[in-house]
């Protein structure tokens, strides 16, 4: 038996839409508005998130990078972000010349600790990037208030949290800019892809230039930009996936609920939803002692248990930071994600539970 940690759910609709792109030979465009399917995807995403505008780009990293450019974050500026996340969050900051300042996380949902955030703010601080890790919802009320008091911009890294809501409001829409990813393993996939949502027309217009070498009409570069465009084949996938998203999230929610019931008697820390939060269950992440041994044993039984971010960003050779982040280092050594994606069956979940009960 093989139960991978995450698998893209691709059906006939996606295949037919991609085939149409190939037959039309309209693979991409340098037009400011983007291609036909890019525009269709953007409308679907804006409607789903409740944002006024959505701008498609070619990766979640590009979304963060474009957002930083849009807010004029530059050399000498400091951007506060968690270390316990995929390194793209920090790399995007470095790519615009700014300095990442690593903030610790809370123990209950692995997102940015507002208390530590407050401690790390300096005169050079210009922005905060909270990450909605594993589909959990960061403490946006507290973070937003701290940012407001210190005149800091907030960019939400919602790469993993499309479908996660707080008081029925989509993550990524609690700040000026929210960034999503459509990487192959995400709840909606374009193979590679990303998007930014905003309610500000000025930022929307600026971002459309940034993703297209700063151009508006032909070769009239007006601001610094790059080729961050989303190809039409990727947009074709994302467009169909957006239509399926509610059904895909229901399956993830069902699987997470069943797994919580099955594992409730084990001596492990299970994920919980905070009051008012509806998690998208992108990853079902537990915390346990002897994590590495358990992961190896589960993998040997065909269960794709995965330890994400066992080396947090600040500990990678590139960053090599001496910053003390005790909760980050605790999480990095104890968390383990178990499969709950839509293709996981109830039989699979019982097999995961039975195996866990034998090993823990």
Domain end marker among 240, 269, 285: 240
Q: Is the pLDDT of residue 1 over 90?
A: no
**Cα–chain center distance at 287:** 20
Query: 4 lies in a domain?
Result: no
149 and 50, same structural domain? yes
Distance between CA atoms of 14 and 265, rounded to whole angstroms? 41
- Final residue belonging to a domain, choices 220, 240, 260: 240
- Whole-number mean pLDDT of the chain? 97
Q: How far is Cα 222 from Cα 337, in angstroms, rounded to an integer?
A: 45
Residue 169's pLDDT is what? 98
- Top-confidence residue, 93 or 217: 93
Helix (H) or strand (E) holding 255: helix 232-263
Q: Which two tokens stand for residue 154?
A: 């907030």
Rounded to an integer, the average pLDDT of 53-63 is 98
Please answer whether residues 280 and 163 qualify as being in contact, where contact means their C-beta atoms are separated by less than 8 angstroms: yes
Same-domain check for residues 209 and 287? no
Same domain, 273 and 154: no
Residues 58 and 183 in one domain: yes
Mean pLDDT to the nearest integer, 295-314: 98
pLDDT of residue 208: 98
Return d(Cα 208, Cα 301) in angstroms, integer. 47
21 plus 148 within the same structural domain: yes
Tell me, yes or no, whether 41 and 132 share the same domain. yes
Q: Please give the Cα distance from 176 to 191 (Å, whole number).
A: 26
Task: Tell me the sheet residues that pair with 201.
Answer: none
Q: Is residue 282 part of a domain?
A: yes
* Cα–Cα distances in angstroms (integers) from residue 198 to residues 168, 178, 206, 228, 271, in the given order: 17, 7, 11, 17, 30
Q: Within a domain: residue 1?
A: no
Same domain for 210 and 81, yes or no, is yes
CB neighbour list of residue 209: distance below 8 Å, 6 or more residues apart: 32, 215, 216, 222, 223, 225
- In this structure, what DSSP letter does residue 105 have? B
Instruction: Summarize the confidence of residues 150-170 as an average pLDDT.
Output: 98
Residue 280 within a domain: yes
**pTM assigned to the model:** 0.97
Instruction: Give the pLDDT confidence score for residue 254 in this predicted structure.
Output: 98
**Count of C-beta atoms within a 10 Å radius of residue 254:** 16
Please indicate, yes or no, whether residues 256 and 226 belong to a single structural domain of this protein.
no
Q: Which of 172, 206, 240 is the last residue of a domain?
A: 240
Neighbour tally for 50: CB within 10 Å = 14
Q: What is the pLDDT of residues 119-146, one digit of tens each?
A: 999 999 999 999 999 999 999 999 999 9
In a domain, 7, yes or no: no
Domain count, the chain: 2
**What is the average pLDDT across 239-255?**
98
CATH number of 309's domain: 3.90.1150.10
CATH of residue 132's domain is: 3.40.640.10
Rounded to the nearest 5 percent, the helix, strand and coil shares of the chain are: 40, 15, 45
CA 137, CA 132: separation in Å to the nearest integer?
5
List the domain range (segments joined by +) for residue 339.
Answer: 245-359
Same domain membership, residue 186 and residue 73 = yes
272 and 187 within one domain? no
Predicted pLDDT at 6: 96
Beta carbons within 8 Å of 283's beta carbon, 6+ residues apart = 5, 6, 134, 135, 160, 308, 337, 340
Judge if 260 and 340 occupy the same domain: yes
Pairing of β 335-338 and β 284-287? antiparallel
Section 187-216 average pLDDT: 97
**Domain check: are 231 and 253 in the same one?**
no
């Amino acid at each position: 038996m093989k139960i991978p940690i995450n698998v893209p759910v691709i059906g006939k609709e996606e295949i037919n839409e991609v085939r149409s792109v190939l037959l039309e030979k309209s693979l991409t465009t340098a037009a400011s508005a983007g291609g036909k399917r890019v525009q269709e995807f953007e409308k679907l995403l804006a409607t789903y998130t409740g944002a006024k505008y959505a701008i498609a780009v070619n990766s979640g990293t590009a979304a963060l990078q474009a957002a930083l450019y849009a807010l004029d974050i530059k050399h000498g500026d400091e951007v506060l972000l968690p270390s316990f996340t995929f390194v793209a969050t920090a790399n995007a900051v470095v790519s615009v010349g700014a300095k990442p300042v690593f903030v610790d996380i809370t123990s209950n949902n692995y997102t940015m600790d507002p208390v530590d955030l407050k401690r790390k703010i300096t005169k050079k601080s210009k922005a905060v990037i909270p990450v909605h890790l594993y589909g959990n919802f960061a403490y946006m009320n507290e973070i937003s208030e701290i940012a407001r008091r210190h005149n800091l911009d907030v960019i939400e890294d919602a790469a993993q949290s499309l479908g996660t809501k707080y008081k029925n409001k989509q993550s990524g829409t609690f700040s000026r800019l929210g960034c999503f990813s459509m990487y192959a393993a995400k709840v909606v996939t374009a193979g590679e892809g990303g998007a930014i949502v905003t309610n500000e027309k000025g930022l929307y217009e600026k971002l459309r230039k940034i993703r297209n070498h700063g151009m508006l009409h032909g070769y009239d570069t007006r601001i610094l930009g790059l080729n961050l465009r989303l190809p039409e084949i990727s947009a074709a996938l994302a467009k169909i996936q957006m239509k399926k998203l509610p059904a895909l999230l229901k399956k993830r929610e069902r699987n997470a609920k069943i797994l919580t019931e099955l594992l409730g008697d084990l001596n492990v820390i299970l994920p919980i939803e905070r009051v008012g939060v509806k998690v998208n269950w992108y990853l079902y992440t537990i915390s346990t002692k002897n994590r590495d041994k358990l992961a190896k044993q589960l993998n040997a039984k065909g269960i794709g248990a995965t330890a994400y971010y066992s080396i947090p960003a600040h500990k990678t050779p590139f960053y090599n930071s001496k910053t003390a982040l005790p909760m980050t280092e605790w999480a990095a050594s104890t968390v383990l994600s178990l499969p709950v994606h839509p293709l996981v069956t109830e039989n699979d979940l019982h097999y995961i539970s039975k195996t866990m009960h034998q090993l823990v």
